[in-house]
Amino acid sequence: MGLASDRLLLWGIAFELAFAAAIVTVPPLQAIFGTALPDPAMLAILIAFPLLVWAPDELRRAVLRRTGRH
């Protein structure tokens, strides 16, 4: 399956990201959920984590595809 083959999954991910962003940036939601916008240094660290999880998995998949093992 390709990355864009499951549109429902992509919409779910988009909604999750938008909702998480709203919880930490919209003042009424911040009050309800007890959140605050992280400082820029923390955001820089947080941005790296998805790549640290995704990249090794994609590398493993590429190796498996190349060697013919599934």
DSSP string, 2-70: -TTS-HHHHHHHHHHHHHHHHHHHSHHHHHHHT--PPPHHHHHHHHHHHHHHHHHHHHHHHHHHHHT--
Q: How much is the pLDDT for 3?
A: 65
pTM: 0.63
Q: Which residue has the higher pLDDT, 3 or 53?
A: 53
Q: Is the pLDDT of residue 1 over 70?
A: no
Q: Which residue has the higher pLDDT, 30 or 38?
A: 30
Q: How much is the pLDDT for 33?
A: 96
Q: Is the pLDDT of residue 18 over 80?
A: yes
Average pLDDT taken over every residue of the chain: 89
